[in-house]
Amino acid sequence: MPIKWSATKVNEAMDEVEHQISLSEAFLSEARAKASNARTIANLPGYIDDRLSRLIWEIERIERVKDAIKAVRSAIPEGAIEAKRERPRHGNQQALI
């Protein structure tokens, strides 16, 4: 059964999201390093260290974003992208459904 939404557009959107995430990784890595360095400040109270630790953990959650992108891609029905790409070669005739 053909789908009514564009699997290729969803896939292209995920390509764009992945690209933006890849651009941010260097900045997030630097932020993580700076936050880790802040944890080495002498006489740092525990409550500040806890918050810095939490900040580092939150920065590292970028992997969850990547997993979410994979989940979107895996939800696209198998063959839907290829079928959409094949359609223009066969003309723009509407299906008789």
Residue 45 neighbours by CB distance under 10 Å: 9
Whether 90 is covered by a domain: the verdict is no
Whether 2 is covered by a domain: the verdict is no
Number of domains in the chain: 1
* Domain assignment of residue 60, given as a range: 7-85
What's the whole-number mean pLDDT along residues 6-16?
A: 94
Whether 94 is covered by a domain: the verdict is no
Whether 34 is covered by a domain: the verdict is yes
CA-based torsion, 12, 15, 19, 24: positive or negative: positive
Whether 93 is covered by a domain: the verdict is no
Whether 79 is covered by a domain: the verdict is yes
Whether 91 is covered by a domain: the verdict is no
What's the whole-number mean pLDDT along residues 65-72?
A: 95
CA distance 31 to 41: 16
What's the whole-number mean pLDDT along residues 33-40?
A: 98
pLDDT recorded at residue 80: 80
pLDDT at 18 over 80: yes
- 3 state DSSP class of 4: coil
What's the whole-number mean pLDDT along residues 10-21?
A: 95
Whether 97 is covered by a domain: the verdict is no
